Amino acid sequence: MEEQTVPFPYQCSELEGEDKELVERTIAANPIELLRLGPKGYIVFKPYMRDAENIYNMPLRPSDVFVASYQRSGTTVTQELVWQLLNDFDYEKAKEIPLTARYSFLEEFMFIDSEKTDIYIENAKKADPNFDPTPILMIGEMFKTPASTKLATAPSPRFIKTHLPMSFLPPKVLETAKVVYIAREPRDVAVSCYHQTLLFKVQQFEGGFKEFWNLFHRSLFTLTPFFEHLKEAWNLRHHPNMLFLFYEDVTKDKPAAIRRIAAFFGKTITEEQVARLSDHLDIKNFKKNKSVNNEELKDSALFDPKESFIRKGKSGGWRDYFDEEMTQQAERWIADNLRDTDLRFPKV
Ligand code: A3P
């Protein structure tokens, strides 16, 4: 029997007043519109609404594996780790097929409005008259079909990447599929998101870190409010199909993380396999690994060559970016948001 579609339960609203002004000041040229969605007011790009209900109703399979996170929290390294564990450490196959093709990125289509590629191209040409529009046109075409549609006919097991909060996923996701969620200290996430915003030139962010931080902690950046995102997953951490990890733990002790994730998936592994995978995931090797570092986009004029997708991989690096005023503001913000939860970030 066909499963019945349930209506997507959340309403969206446009940004207004000071929020709207703040966003427009920094991404005025980007034609994409931001919306607040649901009772927690998560920020999404307008194209998300085209597929929100399909994602919410996505038929799931017991073999589905989700790697979920607030963005820039160690998703990529976790994806590779999980994929290797569940694919008998097939390093050759991993080299041939980029991680972006081994995983379906559920909400990727929302990041560029496929109806407005002409505006992105026009803007890019103002900065560089020789701008090659081919990659953006290709991406625009690709994003017309969201991942949820492609996943419907994809072979099992399906590996799915998402930065959506748990409440936007199918409500019964944990009854059927497994979810590995990775969280990271918010100030390091903010710095990493800032660099990613500069990396993806199409976002046309104008401002320094201070302006970015202002957007981030006021929950005006994609898929913020940050703490609501984490708390939703944290509250589900005892579910047998949910594994909640911290970036700081995974990167500090990769062998322990590998063993923990293997146990979650019921996999028995040898110490040689642990050692080889730890080495494979080491940031120095990862940075050079063309299958995970998105290098193919480097020359496409979509990426700023001064930035990189796999960056420093350091914990506590935020200290180089926050002045005294921002440090105090961040401390208050973190304390306020941790008051009603036992979620705590590992000390580094
Ligand atoms: P930084 O920008 O602080 O360096 P995501 O994969 O969720 O986008 O997260 C990206 C962050 O994880 C970046 O942080 C990136 O450098 C870091 N990262 C990627 N691969 C890593 C690895 N193998 N070990 C440690 N950190 C890694």
- pLDDT, tens digit, for every residue of 40-71? 999 999 999 999 999 999 999 999 999 999 99
In angstroms, the CA 151 to CA 177 distance is: 14
Q: What's the gap in Å between 313 CA and the centre of ligand 1?
A: 5
pLDDT in tens, 111-136: 988 888 898 888 888 878 888 888 88
Does residue 328 lie within any of the structural domains? yes
Whether 74 contacts 251, CB under 8 Å: yes
Write down the pLDDT at residue 211. Answer: 95
| Domain, as residue range, for 89 | 51-338
4: number of CA atoms within 13 Å, CB side? 2
Distance CA 128, CA 283 (A): 33
pTM assigned to the model: 0.97
Position 299 scores a pLDDT of: 65
CATH classification of the domain holding 312: 3.40.50.300
- Which SS3 state, helix, strand or coil, does residue 179 take? strand
* Rounded distance from Cα 343 to ligand 1 centre (Å): 22
Is 278:77 a contact under the CB 8 Å cutoff?
no
Q: Which of 313, 274, 273 is nearest to 292 (CA)?
A: 313
Give the position, in ligand 1's atom list, of the atom nearest the Cα of 80. Answer: 23
Q: So what's the pLDDT on residue 132? A: 87
Whether ipTM exceeds 0.95? yes
CA-nearest residue for atom 16, ligand 1, is: 311
Reply yes or no on whether the pLDDT at 272 is more than 80: yes
* Mutation to probe ligand 1, out of 69, 70, 72 (largest number of atoms < 8 A from CB): 72
Q: What average pLDDT does the chain have?
A: 94
Q: What percent of the chain has pLDDT over 70?
A: 98
Q: Would the pLDDT of 5 be above 80?
A: yes
- The Cα–Cα gap between 186 and 190 comes to 6
The answer, yes or no, to whether residue 234 has pLDDT greater than 90, is yes
Q: 344: which 2 tokens?
A: 């705590």
| Residue 192 forms part of a structural domain | yes
Cβ 289 under 6 angstroms from ligand 1: no
Q: Would 5 be classed as within a structural domain?
A: no
Residue 344: pLDDT band (50, 70, 90) is: very high
- Say if 6 falls within a structural domain: no
Cβ–ligand 1 distance for 274 under 6 Å, the answer: no
Can you give the pLDDT at residue 28?
A: 74
Atom 27 of ligand 1: nearest residue by CA position: 313
The reported pLDDT for the residue numbered 237 is 98
Q: Which atom of ligand 1 is nearest to the CA of 310?
A: 16
Does any domain span residue 28?
A: no
On whether residue 8 sits in a domain, the answer given is: no
pLDDT per residue as tens digits for the range 287-342: 999 999 987 777 667 788 889 999 999 999 999 999 999 999 999 999 999 999 99
Query: Could you give the number of structural domains in the chain?
Result: 1
pLDDT at 1 > cutoff 60:
no
The secondary structure of residue 345, as a DSSP letter, is P
| Lowest pLDDT segment from 77-91, 92-106, 126-140, 206-220 | 126-140
In Å, what is the CA distance from 40 to each residue of 44, 173, 325? 12, 20, 27
